[in-house]
Amino acid sequence: MLANDIKNWLLEHGFTENEKGLLTIDYGSAEVSVFVSEKTVRVHLENARQIALLATVEPNRVQMDEYGMLHGMGLNTAFQNATNSAWPPKWWPHEYAEKQFDVLADFTSRSAGPRP
């Protein structure tokens, strides 16, 4: 994808641009910040205790799936792994969130073993 396409997607999905030119969004007590340039996309997750780098990629490595979700820049799998949250982030397209949580619910029910 082009850097402008990524920036527009982020703005359309709830991120706002701050005075430093970073695109940010709150998630609980944490903040996700994204730096987008023609050469790099860098995503950080920051809370009171730490700042975690979720991804640094070239914009052309970022892809959009059939649900309208961006992949390759840490906003889905890496984000979920870093937060261990049961709630989908605000920026996930509705259909993508439904699909992910259906998969998780199905996995959980199968891994829970037989029910008495």
pLDDT in tens, 66-88: 999 999 998 987 777 777 766 78
Domain boundaries along the sequence of the chain: 3-111
Structure tokens belonging to residue 31: 């903040």
| pTM more than 0.85 | no
Summarised one tens digit per residue, pLDDT across range 88-110 is 888 989 888 888 776 554 433 33
Cα dist. 60→47, 64, 67, 75 in Å?
29, 11, 19, 16
Summarised one tens digit per residue, pLDDT across range 4-30 is 999 999 999 999 999 999 999 998 888
The pLDDT value recorded for residue 103 is 54
Cα–Cα distance, 41 to 90 (Å, whole number) = 20
Query: To which H or E segment does residue 83 belong?
Result: helix 77-83
Residue 49 has pLDDT above 90, yes or no: no
